[in-house]
A and B are shown apart, each in its own frame.
Chain A
Amino acid sequence: MTKLTDLNIATARDGLAKGDFSAAELAEAYIQAVEAGRDLNAYITETPEVALERARESDDRRAKGDHIGAMDGIPIAMKDLFCTEGVLTTAGSHILDGFVPAYESTVSANLRSAGAVMLGKANLDEFAMGSANITSYYGPVKNPWKAKGGPSDGKDLVPGGSSGGSAAAVAGGLAMAATGTDTGGSIRQPASFCGIVGIKPTYGRCSRWGTVAFASSLDQAGPMTQTVQDAAIMLGAMAGHDPKDSTSAPIAVPDFETAITGDVKGLTIGIPKEYKMDGMDPQIQALWDQGIAWLKDAGCNIKEVSLPHTKYALAAYYIVAPAEASANLARYDGVRFGLRVPGDSLDDMYMNTRGEGFGDEVQRRILIGTYALSSGYYDAYYIKAQKVRTLIANDFKTAFQDVDAILTPTAPSAAFALGEKQDDPVAMYLNDVFTVPTSLAGLPGISVPAGLSSDGLPLGLQVIGRAFDEGTVLNVASTLESAAAFSAKPGKGASS
């Protein structure tokens, strides 16, 4: 029999339905895997009791013939950015020390009511700010993959970020699937680095209520899974209109799983010429060309498109996101929750608490955001960046008049070694060069593992779709997945 931890959501769903194993057995297997995999530092808080309790409830529902949810009995990791009732929620920050929410985020509540079993809270970059999961107060996460040869040979690699714990947990077999959040690439880039699937849905598809806020006009939750089909199943369970989030879209959630038909004949796929960057890694270019060939073979029409303002997306993002973050993070004041460092006056207490509670990257972004919003600079930076954002969104609108989806690489490189790019913030920001434009435009984007680098590390391709057209995105991604037949696992290399 296959090991229970080798299953995915779809195959476990079948096994549970047939009674091959119970949800409690599945949870037990994963709890052991989580313990055995602690070296990855993928979890900040493990919740084995919660997992077992929910697994038993799932088994009871099945025994009684009650309604079975889409995720019933499926063990998942919850990014520690989602508030979970009665379970420590840290956002990877010292400033949320001891914070145990009295409420449950809408996304985690939706998953719970779909029957999902929470194994624990996954590590992440502090307040989701980072692209390597090295800014967490709870320490860096290790990528379960290792390079064979090349400059990173045998070194510990980063899992990407900010949803690095989620990605490492899924890739390392410490969760069947995980939740992530994506502000500028925080689901897609770690999915690419860890050889898994990750989709950032359309802005408004998943409720932001109860998710620790980073940049409210960009933040979106999404699933990180082993397969595209799993992503479809889990996204369906997470999404939906929520009156508690005024930007949550009041539209019905389609059946994403049936959107994966395997038939993409006649679809037009756009290839944005501005994404061919100077000095691009030839391996990334080759993977992209391969993806184009696969879609052509599947009957898609390939069309070059232009997204002329791509070059400015990152710079606009690094004004908009820090500006929103500086406002959102004003709530950490040492009064209502989390860390408090005493001071002689109210100001003194605020300054001590925030000086000690926020890490270096978060402080940098708060300072950039505060500066961009400050009197005299507001128009030059913040309004300017918002105008550039309009231009970027218009680029996509124009392109999507001619194409049904857009294909790009997910990230400019494979996973790099822990400690690299650490001293240069701008070099780190460039990790998100292919994912940030989609975020600014609010469009859905998925990363699918499509190949290995010369040193044996996973590389992802990104499919971008029209707003609320996750169905096409998933269908095209599934076609790439079948063509790539990506079966390599961390530590085992290509198993062809």
Chain B
Amino acid sequence: MSLDKDTVKNIAYLARMRVSDDKLEPLAGELSSIMDWIEQLQELDTDGVEPMASVSDVTLPQRKDVVTDGNCQAAVLKNAPDAVDGFFTVPKVVE
């Protein structure tokens, strides 16, 4: 399984992660060697095997549908790099 530069660029965009052009080629090499090694999984017959998402075989617990938290706007915003007037801010998205 070989990943080329363009594929890496596309995955990096999907992950919203800037990867400089000079890093694409070496990354493609590294990721290809990792994926080549992972390819060994394909030799296993897994037909009819249930995929395991979690080892805990308990069903997810439910709690009462009531408010358990809140009124902590200042704490929520405390670590925001650019909070203004009680809001998180982002670059302008609507012209």
Contact = CB atoms under 8 A, between A and B. Distances in A.
Contact of B51 (A344, A374, A383, A441): A383
A101 B51 CA distance: 36
Contact of A386 (B15, B35, B52): B52
Contacts of B67: none
B41 A312 contact: yes
A364 B34 contact: yes
Given A351-B16, A363-B17, A366-B15, A425 B34 contact: yes
A60 interface: no
B71 interface: no
B41 A315 contact: yes
A364 B41 contact: no
A148 B53 CA distance: 45
Interface string A323-352: 000100010011111111011111111111
B49 A387 contact: yes
Interface in B30-82: 30-31, 33-35, 37-38, 40-42, 44, 46, 49-56, 58, 60-61, 63, 72, 75-76, 78-82
Given A351-B16, A391-B46, A204 B56 contact: yes
Contacts of A103: 75
B40 A384 contact: no
A249 interface: yes
B15 A367 contact: yes
A346 B92 CA distance: 7
What is the interface of chain B mostly: helix, strand, loop, or mixed?
loop
A454 B4 CA distance: 44
A335 B91 contact: no
A100 B31 contact: no
Interface in A367-389: 367-368, 370-371, 374, 380-381, 383-389
Contacts of B60: 246
Interface stretch (A73-81, A134-142, A353-361): A353-361
A469 to B, nearest CB: 14
B35 to A, nearest CB: 7
Given A346-B90, A355-B17, A442-B55, A243 B63 contact: yes
Contacts of A383: 51
B49 A390 contact: yes
Contact of A338 (B58, B72, B81): B81
A351 B91 CA distance: 13
A396 to B, nearest CB: 10
B53 A217 contact: yes
Which of under 10, 10 to 19, 20 to 34, or 35 or more describes the interface residues of A? Answer: 35 or more
A442 to B, nearest CB: 3
Contacts of B51: 383, 386-387, 389-390
B85 to A, nearest CB: 15
B15 A326 contact: yes
Interface residues of B, number: 51
A352 B18 contact: yes
A321 to B, nearest CB: 12
Contact of A336 (B14, B42, B80): B80
B27 A364 contact: yes
Nearest to A369: B15
A318 B34 contact: yes
A309 interface: yes
B15 to A, nearest CB: 4
A256 interface: no
Contacts of A363: 17, 19, 27
A190 to B, nearest CB: 23
Contacts of B79: 98-102, 336-338
Nearest to A430: B37
A464 to B, nearest CB: 14
29 contacts: A100-B78, A101-B79, A217-B53, A247-B54, A250-B61, A309-B44, A315-B37, A315-B38, A318-B34, A334-B81, A335-B80, A335-B89, A340-B81, A343-B91, A346-B90, A347-B16, A348-B91, A351-B18, A354-B16, A355-B20, A367-B12, A371-B31, A374-B11, A374-B14, A384-B42, A386-B53, A388-B44, A389-B52, A425-B34
Interface of A: 98-103, 203-204, 217, 243, 246-247, 249-250, 309, 311-312, 315-316, 318-319, 326, 330, 333-340, 342-352, 354-356, 358, 363-364, 366-368, 370-371, 374, 380-381, 383-391, 393, 425-426, 441-442, 467
- Closest A-B pairs by Cβ, 3 of them: A355-B18, A442-B55, A386-B51
